[in-house]
Amino acid sequence: MMHLNKCIRILVLAAIMVSAFYFPSRESAAKGNPKYASIVIDADTGAILSQRYANKKLHPASLTKVMTLMLTFDAIKEGRISLYDRVVISPYAASMVPSKLGLKPGETIRVKDAIYILVTKSANDIAVALAEHLAGTEYRFAQIMTAKAHIIGMKDTTFKNASGLHHDRQLSTAADMARMARYLINNYDSYYHYFSKKSFRYQGVTYNNHNKLMLTYKGMDGLKTGYTAKSGFNLVASAERNGNRVIGVVFGGRSGTTRNNHMKDILDQGFLKMEKLHLAALRDMPVPKKKPAAVYASNNASMSNSNSAIEPASGGAMQIAALNASLNTADDNNDSTAQSLWSVQIGAFKSRVKVDNLLQDAVKVLPHELNGAYPIIAPLRTAGSGWMFRARLAGLTFAQAESACNYFRDCLIVAPRK
């Protein structure tokens, strides 16, 4: 009996340590808070560093405006509008409740100023005015928002307006908001700087960014806050340290202060986990000058532009896959393609032999329903340390990747690159 009690105590202590690592004790809002959810991902790979209720459908509030701005950026890139076009305030836009800029019907604002006002002031009237300018009506614009969301992998998101004002059927998840932020960072690099604006002066009035963490958290340079009574205090945030960028999402904070404190904690733990699992400098992984003995495959030219190389593990009787090229070009509308491109990383070593052995054992550990996973090695040249070989199991759906990680002590889910 004493031995059993000792085992129980050890298990309880281990559970507490794991819980403290992923979900720091400072945030009590998650206890009995149906609005709460969170996730932290590596912006470069999409690897999930921590998550809690990340797929629970909740109200996004003004996080919605990130998608409104992405569609605005699309229109600018495509030449349909310019930064200096004038957006007319309709009576409907002027009728929005605060937070709002308060322009009267018939007044106008430049597109460039509207972008800054959405980022800093989070003005609902300006969000609606932009929607009408781009699509004729906010209703039509919301349909386009939802279509865009689904194209980029936000399958659990439905937008009903451009502002984020409460609508019972406007729903998203922490995981989807992280996908949106990652897509923004990776595909709108010439526009991301707008989200770093700490304050904006318009017609003699200075509007401070609601994301006050940009003033206090090292490396944070965006993205967006949100609040309604139904959603609680939401935040999507991105920070970069030592060449590594993480994205955090918190839904349902009880106050702006507790939300911000919790965001600090989960981002800190995310950076620590990245260091522990050798995820530094993933973005610029080079192709070796002399390729290893295994054959590299590429099914399109984007492989040569991705600065990345992935090879099958030696001894594995698997089809060679140009994984990075596929991740960059997969059609998100094709579920059979996009959903099968997830992988899990289970270790990283300087020794190629250790990686081979780890992967050979890993395949044997997986249950029958995951026997479609195939081993690959992702080489990485580290600064001053030579080559690092990362062990991955590929060819999984997201659900299979989540399941596979349960069988390994150190495991990260690696998402398709958008």
* Residues designated as active site: 62, 65, 122
β-sheet with 244-253: strand ranges across: 48-52, 37-42, 244-253, 232-241, 220-228
Q: Report d(CA 100, CA 121) in Å as an integer.
A: 7
CA–CA–CA angle 331, 334, 339 (5° rounding): 95
**134 burial via Cβ count (<10 Å: 0-12, 13-18, 19+):** buried
Q: To which residue do tokens 């819980």 refer?
A: 19
What is the phi/psi pair of residue 415, to 5°?
Answer: -85, 160
Bridging pattern class, strands 374-382 and 311-312: antiparallel
Contact 24, 10 (CB under 8 A): no
| Contact between 389 and 296 (Cβ < 8 Å) | no
Distance linking the first and last C-alpha atoms of the chain: 54
Give Cβ neighbours of residue 299 (< 8 Å, ≥ 6 apart).
322, 325, 326
DSSP for 286-340, written as a single string: PPPSS--SSPP--SSTHHHHTT---EEPTT-------HHHHHHH--TT-HHHHTT
* Closest alpha carbon to 185 in 174, 175, 196: 196
Please give the order of strands across the beta sheet that includes 342-349: 311-312, 374-382, 386-396, 342-349, 412-414
Q: What is the DSSP letter of 96?
A: P
Give the CA count within 13 Å in the CB-facing half-sphere of 137: 4
Cβ atoms of 48 and 413 within 8 Å: the answer is: yes
